[in-house]
Structure 1
Amino acid sequence: MGQRDRGPFRVGERVLVPHTDKYYEAKTLKSQKREDGIWYYLLHYQGWNKKWDEWVEAPGLVKYDAKLAEVDLSQEDKGGPDGKGKKRKLEEGEAGEEDGPQDTFDKAAHIQVEVPPALKKVLLDDWERITRDGKLVPLPRRPSVRDILQQYVDANRAKKDLTDAEEEIASGLRTYFDKACGRLLLYNQERKQAEQVLTEACVPSNIYGGEHLLRLLVKLPELLPIVSIAPDDKVKLETRILEFVRFLTTKQAAFFLAASQYQAAPH
């Protein structure tokens, strides 16, 4: 088989996968050109159990470079890539692993967050518009993260299903969002915009909306280690988060931007 029949990468080649904080080294195991005309590669991440093996599209990969592998993408001053190689999940029905392997990630000791296909598509579309199309989410967003969480509480109150659990989930998500936003939830293309809109008097949950809240949800397994929590409590927490995710799904049209609502990034 000629090189042109294998796509831009060889089977067995070392590659890098850009993620929010760093590049992850992987090895291509298989290649496949799919109906959309794009090459996909089955990857095995260096030093990770094969359970993390996944299919990633060719534009989500970077040729291996030892120097590039040391770049810290979470630091604004590092420069980093402009998002061309963001990792993209491909397997239908895959849940709770939206961001791939982490250096200290033990799946068994973390909560599982199931993200339905409809919301995964929102994530992917959002990423493509920002990193490929040069668009930005207009800020401040309405409804904001705070508004969405309050609507969740109000919806349960209206159904007379409100318990302390719903209010605790809403409060906890808002707290985590405000702490994680600037460090973990922004693409490089969004950082200049963030510098302009985020001041000491503003909190991220009042400025950003559903798109960035969804990014938080897929990172919760990394942010909420629960090694010491009882199994029953772990199940309860996962159930409450799942209920919130379902709420987002039912309000998808109201909470997430349409393609035409993104704005062009200033040059």
Structure 2
Amino acid sequence: MAPSRQNQAPPYTKDERVLCFHGDLMYEAKVMEVVVKPGQKPEDAQYRIHYKGWKASWDDWVSQDRIRKFTEDNKQLASQLEAQARMRSSGSKGGKKVIRANGSEMSSARGSEERAAGSSSFGRGPRRGRDYELENEDAFHSRPSIKLFVPDILKAMLVDDWENITKNNQLVPLPHPHPVAKILEDYAAYETPKRPAGSSHVDILEETLAGLKEYFDKSLGRILLYRFERAQYAEMYQKWMSEDPEYQGKTASDTYGPEHLMRLIVSLPELVAQTNMDQQSVNRLREELVKFCTWLSKNTTEYFVSHYESPPQDYIQKAKD
């Protein structure tokens, strides 16, 4: 017989070396105390965390959702968050042409595009409790939003995508050889085995990917297309509504690929701001999106198209009318 949940131990133990979120970054830390009140489940335990290299006055009581195991994957994520935060806070904003692509601002210079919307400065370490209280008070007056960090190679893809369509009058070939639905399936197959079977981390992954697919299907025709692409979308929509077995019942996520998916991802900060998601859910979503973008950035040659197609002259004329 499986042991009852009451008899299970909390996932983190006293003196364990861990990584702990404080604000937008993760820091190396040590579990000093573990407290489980009578009647509480192990996952409801409270942990007193000591951040490595900081005085005891910075110690913090946190719940399980703020802590991560000290693994190579999580250390890589912490390093990436820190590097991208430093780049974001110190990146140059002057002297470069900035374009806006569906809610994301980025410089047109390759390899150094900076998202300008929602920029903020980052401290050199965890903040004191009073500072955190003030931040929560400010957050009370504005809905939670995602401060999303996108790898440079994906930013460059977004800029190339914008130029190919709006400047060169080209289109992403459809149906895409690697549609969004297949990309999300591939990522799930890659990421799921790295998480404990049946754990909440698997549930969060599944919910995030299902949410991405649903958001993509509902938002593509409304907010993700450039004007030049709308005639192409209208043609594709008619095929979805037809009795053609190749297209009947298909959706945007079965037809469009990562070029359009990235437009959704960089639009999510604005979309999430219009929801009633709490800060903990937003933090979880941000972490999942960072992991997904990191994976996608390592597989761009496999999933992104290498050539855009040039439509006939009558399409160009119709698209511009």
TM-score (norm 2): 0.51
- One-letter code of the match for 1:216? L
2:97 is the alignment partner of 1:97 = no
- One-letter code of the match for 2:302? A
Given the alignment, which residue of 246, 250, 256 partners 1:208? 256
Distance of 1:58 and 1:247 partners within structure 2: 29
Correspondence for 1:167? 206
Inter-CA distance 55–157: structure 2 relative to 1 (3 Å threshold): same
Correspondence for 1:156? 191
Percentage of identical aligned residues: 32
Gaps (5+ residues) in structure 2? 1-91, 119-140, 242-248, 314-321
Q: Deviations over 1:171-203 (max 9, x none)?
A: 000000011100111111111111111233331
Contact 1:60–1:88 (Cα < 8 Å) also in 2: yes
Correspondence for 1:244? 292
Written as runs of structure 1 = structure 2, the 5 A alignment for 1:8-23 is: none
Inter-CA distance 192–226: structure 2 relative to 1 (3 Å threshold): closer
Correspondence for 1:30? none
Cα deviation, residue 250, structure 1: 1.4
Correspondence for 2:14? none
Given the alignment, which residue of 135, 154, 157 partners 1:119? 154
Inter-CA distance 193–88: structure 2 relative to 1 (3 Å threshold): same
Given the alignment, which residue of 174, 183, 186 partners 2:225? 186
Cα deviation, residue 58, structure 1: 5.9
Distance of 2:255 and 2:273 partners within structure 1: 27
Written as runs of structure 1 = structure 2, the 5 A alignment for 1:1-267 is: 55=94, 88-90=106-108, 92=112, 94-95=114-115, 97=117, 109-160=144-195, 163-198=202-237, 199-200=240-241, 201-225=249-273, 228-258=276-306, 261-267=307-313
Contact 1:119–1:249 (Cα < 8 Å) also in 2: yes
The structure with the largest helix share of the pair is 2
Cα deviation, residue 240, structure 1: 1.0
Correspondence for 2:246? none
- Superposition RMSD in Å: 3.1
Gaps (5+ residues) in structure 1? 1-52, 62-73, 75-85, 99-105
- One-letter code of the match for 1:212? H
What is the aligned residue count?
183
- One-letter code of the match for 1:205? S
Correspondence for 1:18? none
Contact 2:169–2:310 (Cα < 8 Å) also in 1: yes
- State the structure with more CA Rg: 2
Cα deviation, residue 220, structure 1: 0.3
Secondary structure of the structure 1 residue equivalent to 2:107: coil
Distance of 2:147 and 2:223 partners within structure 1: 19
- One-letter code of the match for 2:209? A
- One-letter code of the match for 2:117? E
Inter-CA distance 56–161: structure 2 relative to 1 (3 Å threshold): farther
Distance of 2:165 and 2:95 partners within structure 1: 19
- One-letter code of the match for 2:308? Y
- One-letter code of the match for 1:124? V
